[in-house]
Amino acid sequence: MHRPSPAILSRAFVLLLAAATFGVFAWTLGDLTIDRAADAGPANLDALRPFWAIGAGVWTMLTLVWWTHRSDDVGSRRRFLVAAATVLVVAGLARAWTIHAHAPALSDDVYRYVADARALAHGVNPYHPVPAERLR
């Protein structure tokens, strides 16, 4: 029976740890809410601290993935590309899941952008009429 080398096991462990870090990052982002009240600044900073900490962990894991997979060998480069693609796919899936599983929590500006785009599509400058005029 062929046993994998310790280097391969450490690479696999780093990839699993990176994927888990991305998952925690997506979960943290999904739970993030920002209040727009004038006195909400300190509470908003407290809400952002876990996001920043996990973000730093994600960058640390990306650096660790690069460090464990770097080499001048062509086979190692291919393994690195596979590992990088795996991390990016996992990150993309986590992002897509977060976007579809949660309502906008940071801002509702997206609804304004959609309304402006619809007005532009109908040939109306969305910045010309006062909003109260459009409701009449």
Are 97 and 124 contained in the same domain?
A: no
Residue 11 lies in a domain: yes
Check whether 69 has a pLDDT greater than 80.
no
Are 121 and 58 contained in the same domain?
A: no
Are 59 and 97 contained in the same domain?
A: yes
For residue 43, how many other CB atoms are within 10 A of its CB? 13
Are 114 and 70 contained in the same domain?
A: no
The reply to whether the predicted model has a pTM over 0.95 is no
CA distance 133 to 21: 49
Region 14-20 average pLDDT: 85
How far out from the chain centre does Cα 9 lie?
27
Residue 1 lies in a domain: no
Tracing tokens 């993935």 back to the chain, one arrives at 65
Tell me how many domains the chain contains. Answer: 2
The conformational region for residue 110 under phi > 0 = left, psi -120 to 50 = alpha, else beta, is: alpha
pLDDT tens-digit series, residues 79-120: 778 888 888 898 888 888 877 877 766 667 778 888 889 989
Q: What is the pLDDT of residue 134?
A: 58
Tracing tokens 């949660």 back to the chain, one arrives at 102
Are 44 and 85 contained in the same domain?
A: yes
Are 69 and 57 contained in the same domain?
A: yes
130: domain range? 107-136
Are 39 and 82 contained in the same domain?
A: yes
Are 81 and 96 contained in the same domain?
A: yes
CA distance 16 to 26: 15
Q: What is the pLDDT of residue 133?
A: 59
Check whether 10 has a pLDDT greater than 90.
no
CA distance 34 to 31: 10
Residue 8 identity: I
